[in-house]
Amino acid sequence: MAKVHQETAENIKLLANALQKGELVAVPSETVYGLAANAFDETACRKIFKIEGRPFNDPLILHLDSLESLDLVAERNEAVERLAETFWPGPLTLILPKKKSVSDLVTSGLNSVAVRIPGHPVLRKLLRACQCPLAAPSANPFGYISPTTSAHVEKGLGDKISYILEGGPCQIGIESTIVDLRDPASPSILRPGGISSETLSSVMGLSLAPSQPAKETAAPVAPGLLSKHYSPKKQLLLRSTPFDKAELQKLQKDDAALCFKRPNKALPLGGNIFWLSESGSAEKAAQNLFSILRQLDEGPWGSTTAELAPETGIGSALNDRLRRAAAKS
Ligand code: AMP
Ligand code: MG
């Protein structure tokens, strides 16, 4: 059974030792909680796939403590420095040519590797203490809603792992943006995430096309990126326009509504109307998304209809998660 460890110097040392010995530790990050293993220990990394039921063709992201450790696992190019300077530590993952030190298991046989330097101070302490890159996907049974609190991790994987490191609720709330930087002259966004395509494009001085919304993508743009993902057990329907007052008043008891922004306070709320943000902040909405989707999945409602966010900034990443969560296959 998993034990949640508070962030004390003693516990960081204990968990760093566990990682060095090939055990797994669920760790906080600014995006979502991850299930981490020493990236250089293939046996430990294999356990991640087994415990999560993750297919071996879905490669893992490596979490590093510094740019110096990047050289241990990937080939740099001129665009890396610029992006790293602006966005690391932070929710940006880069796909780069891999070095031999990284096993095929971690990259699913690809000759590239996904890397990021996370910003969460507790995870950074652990990374410094264990002195190895950590391979870590989100800490949930494969395909289910990602965890943004230690309690979510406990609920999903608590009977399969021993260690969870507490780091509070995740500040970004959705996964990192993944940029394919194998060819620095033509970077592309493989997965929208914590950093918007608009911000990335302005820093890179060239237009980075956001990847297509999940439902319009015929084939996955990156291995493991599936149209159906982050999936609740109950039915999730989407709508692109906000609910109006009359629609909310007519909502059936068995159905829930998930608004992007808190509806008019005068509205009689029957306990089945939820909202992602108080005042329409896409950042707040992203922070709350997975927690509220879990709450809805555990509640008495048969189905939920969710409003999509305005398709701009982090709203695009939020909509990507909603579309994948609502996809049936
Ligand atoms: P997550 O499951 O949220 O940790 O995200 C991992 C995702 O990163 C995978 O599903 C892939 O889509 C992507 N990824 C990891 N490594 C690579 C790689 N070498 N090339 C392309 N995409 C990758
Ligand atoms: Mg995941």
Q: Are 24 and 163 in contact (CB under 8 A)?
A: yes
Q: Where are the beta strands (DSSP E) in the chain?
A: 3-5, 25-27, 34-38, 61-63, 92-97, 112-116, 134-135, 163-165, 177-180, 188-191, 235-239, 255-261, 273-277, 303-307
Q: Which domains, and CATH codes, for the chain? A: 3-204 (3.90.870.10), 235-326 (3.40.50.11030)
Instruction: Compute CA distances 4 → 35, 144, 158, whole Å.
Output: 13, 21, 10
Q: Give the model's pLDDT for residue 208.
A: 78
Highest mean pLDDT among 94-103, 185-194, 204-213: 94-103
- Tokens at 230, concatenated: 């982050």
Check if 27 has its Cβ closer than 6 Å to any atom of ligand 1: no
Distance 101 CA to ligand 2 centre (A): 24
Q: Give the model's pLDDT for residue 212.
A: 53
Check if 178 has its Cβ closer than 6 Å to any atom of ligand 1: yes
- Report which protein residue has its CA nearest ligand 1's atom 2: 137
**CA of 110, closest atom in ligand 1:** 19
Tokens 């629609």, residue located: 247
Cα–Cα distance measured from residue 152 to residue 140, given in angstroms and rounded to the nearest whole number: 8
Q: What ranges in 121-196 are assigned the alpha helix state H?
A: 121-130, 150-157
Give the pLDDT band of residue 114 (cuts 50, 70, 90).
very high
Cα–Cα distance measured from residue 205 to residue 16, given in angstroms and rounded to the nearest whole number: 39
Check if 174 has its Cβ closer than 6 Å to any atom of ligand 1: no
- Report which protein residue has its CA nearest ligand 1's atom 17: 114
**CA of 114, closest atom in ligand 1:** 16
Peptide bond into 223 cis (omega under 30): no
pLDDT tens sequence across 154-174: 999 999 999 999 999 999 999
- Report the share of the chain in percent with pLDDT over 90: 85
Q: Give the model's pLDDT for residue 216.
A: 46
Q: Give the model's pLDDT for residue 209.
A: 64
Check if 36 has its Cβ closer than 6 Å to any atom of ligand 1: no
Distance 29 CA to ligand 1 centre (A): 16
pLDDT tens sequence across 204-258: 887 776 555 544 444 455 776 788 888 999 999 999 999 999 999 999 999 999 9
Give the pLDDT band of residue 270 (cuts 50, 70, 90).
confident
Check if 61 has its Cβ closer than 6 Å to any atom of ligand 1: yes
Q: Among 190, 226, 227, 324, say which to mutate for ligand 1: greatest number of ligand atoms within 8 Å of CB.
A: 190
Tell me if residue 110 falls in helix, strand or coil.
Answer: coil
Distance 138 CA to ligand 2 centre (A): 4
Distance 58 CA to ligand 2 centre (A): 10
**CA of 54, closest atom in ligand 1:** 2
- Report which protein residue has its CA nearest ligand 1's atom 4: 137
Mean pLDDT of all residues belonging to the chain: 93
Return the closest-CA partner of residue 58 out of 182, 149, 143, 117: 143
